[in-house]
Chains A and B, each alone.
Chain A
Amino acid sequence: MIGAEAGRDGRRNVAVIFGGASQEHDVSVVSAQQLMDAADARAINVIPVYMDFENRLFTGPRLRDVSAFRPRPGGLREVRFNWGDEGPELLGKGLRLPVDCALPVFHGPFGEDGRIHGMLELIGVPVTGFSASGSAIAMRKDATKTLVKSVGVNVLDSVAVNRHQRGNMGAVLDEVEAKLGLPVVVKPANLGSSIGVGLAKTRADIPALLEYVLRQDDLALIEPQVPNLVEYNIAMMWRGGEVVFSAIEQPKSGAELLDFREKYLSSGGTKGALPSEGMLSLTREINPDLPADLKARILDYSRRAFLILGARGAPRIDFMCNRATGELWFNEINPIPGSYGFFLWEAAEVPLLYPELIAHLVDEAMGASVKRFDDPVPQGAWLLPR
């Protein structure tokens, strides 16, 4: 047993989980490295936990060395989360590590869609960010839009198309034309990044784009194209009894639409290489000069959306805006934003450094997660003897 060496030195043992069978596996690995380096070393003992392409979990010190990933380092030990005699733990062959909290750093399916959270909630491991159900709802853009619209947040009309509807394409196209007009944007409803986003200028463009999106996702979302598009992103958290906001970010874009290449590989980025934080900073403007009314709407919509969607963690909401008219639409919520949005918090009105952001996530998770051992069935519902 080497559990003793992780030990109890007064620090919290935080299992940072990353990787996973997602298109955004590599981005997750890089995001997690940044986060593990930033966690306050005096208060947090980071236990890196890597999820491979088969969604198996591994741990080992080499997970802190990004140059050892091919796409994962060797010499790791397979582990699973467990509730042991002393509470939550990571268990492997000859290995038992006590865990105080799990901190998933995933983007996209499995890690960000609630499945990891569900597993940890069942075992009773405190976990940061949205709950399992909150994460699952956040992953479905059509469901998120319906929910936030119910609390007065402006959203674009849309048509959702699943794989079964491909057999009746004529009806789908009629609905799109009647409800949305043209041009439209076709995108996956579940995937975390903007891989597969396409622009249909004519009715005839739509089927091929739908086909492409539905190969990757089981649900596609069609929305009108926003003219004069400018995007605004903002993160938020529940702190001190209120919603507090990060700085607003305006991603820069010269193209008609942001696709994955532009998001992650712009500025001549080489294939396979990930851009540095410094390079990413060239792609966005922090705290852009906005009309007071627009800024107030961004904050108002963000507050409403955050409260209905989960009010936990530090998610980022992305808005779309028509630069000419000032119209603003909620686009999506990312429960685990890239780099956990730390650069947005550093520039917030009440600035937070990355270690302080991580401390908040861990404090919140540990304060709100309680493993219960009592009989949950109320006496009046007993059918079986006790």
Chain B
Amino acid sequence: MHHIAIGRRGAPGVVFAHGWGRSHRDFIPTAEALAPVARAVLPDLPGFGATPRPEAAWDTGDYADAMAEALRGGLVDGPVVWVGHSFGGRIGLRLAVRHPDLLTGLVLVAAAGIPRAQPLVEQLRGRWRSRQFRRLKARATDQAALEALEDRFGSPDYVQSRRDGLRDIFLKTIAEDQSADLRRINLPVTLIYGGRDTETPPDLGRRMANAIPGAEYVQLDPCDHISVLDRGRHQIALAVKEKLVAQVAP
């Protein structure tokens, strides 16, 4: 798995896991801010950046198991604070339940994991669009026409997943509802959401925080799903540092 490491060797470990369609680069400034106090590892998750995709269509549990294997294999010494953005947050939630011995804390940044609460109007609009999509798809005569329809109706991540050859994984992971896992998490957890995020809106973050025992919820009003990585980087770094300090001085 391709990754970079930033920070002092021997310092407590942090893994920064990027979101769907993104790469390790998203978290470099945050890892640099923490360099004097942490050993940060920033992987390209399988299928993204410079890491090839898995042969099978993985779900988030498979991703978590692969990361657990890498961690046990010496990717970082000792248990880590897991920082996950969006899709990387989904993997963090799975790790916290399946491999809790590997984590000392979770920082979920605009993390996905549970279904969005959609207002009725939005639900109806969604159903109508999806019916229209299916109807037009049935009439499509060739691949080009099909792809043009996808571009018109699909979310940016859905469209991108075809270009990246990850459609199977996308469809498998996007539908996962990790609600049942949330109350089983027994770690210090901070959830950070942008007030202007339309992909993982603040309401979703608050519901996840309410379901995770003892979790802390932070809202950054001016940020959206992506700018939370840049404008919110100091808050992310702070949440990580607090977990590292708590770990050193219990």
Contacts and interface: CB of A to CB of B under 8 A. Distances in A.
B29 A41 contact: no
Interface stretch (A74-82, A133-141, A176-184, A346-354): A346-354
Interface of A: 37-38, 40-42, 61, 64-65, 277-278, 342, 346-348, 351, 353-356
Q: Which secondary structure dominates where chain B touches chain A?
A: mixed
Given A41-B220, A65-B222, A346 B235 contact: no
Contacts of B241: 353
Contacts of A37: 220, 222, 231-232, 234
Given A64-B222, A353-B237, A354-B33, 8 more contacts: A37-B220, A37-B231, A41-B219, A42-B216, A342-B234, A346-B33, A346-B36, A353-B34
Contacts of A346: 32-33, 35-36
B37 interface: yes
B164 interface: no
Nearest to B196: A65
Interface in B20-70: 29, 32-37
A38 B239 CA distance: 12
Nearest to A35: B234
B151 interface: no
B207 to A, nearest CB: 19
Nearest to A358: B234
5 contacts: A38-B235, A41-B218, A65-B222, A346-B36, A356-B238
Given A41-B219, A42-B216, A278-B29, A355 B234 contact: yes
Given A38-B234, A353-B33, A64 B218 contact: no
Interface string B207-250: 00000000010111110000000011011011001000000000
B231 A353 contact: no
Nearest to B234: A38
A146 B220 CA distance: 45
In the complex, which of the residues A41, A278, A355 has the most CB atoms of chain B within 10 Å of its own CB atom? A41
Contact of B235 (A64, A348, A355): A355
A355 B238 contact: yes
Nearest to B238: A355
A64 B221 contact: yes
B169 to A, nearest CB: 32
Contacts of B220: 37, 41
B234 A353 contact: yes
A353 B34 CA distance: 8
B36 A347 contact: yes
A354 B218 contact: no
Contacts of A64: 221-222
B193 to A, nearest CB: 11
| Minimum-distance CB pairs A-B, first 4 | A38-B234, A351-B36, A64-B222, A37-B231
B25 to A, nearest CB: 11
A38 B223 CA distance: 12
B231 to A, nearest CB: 4
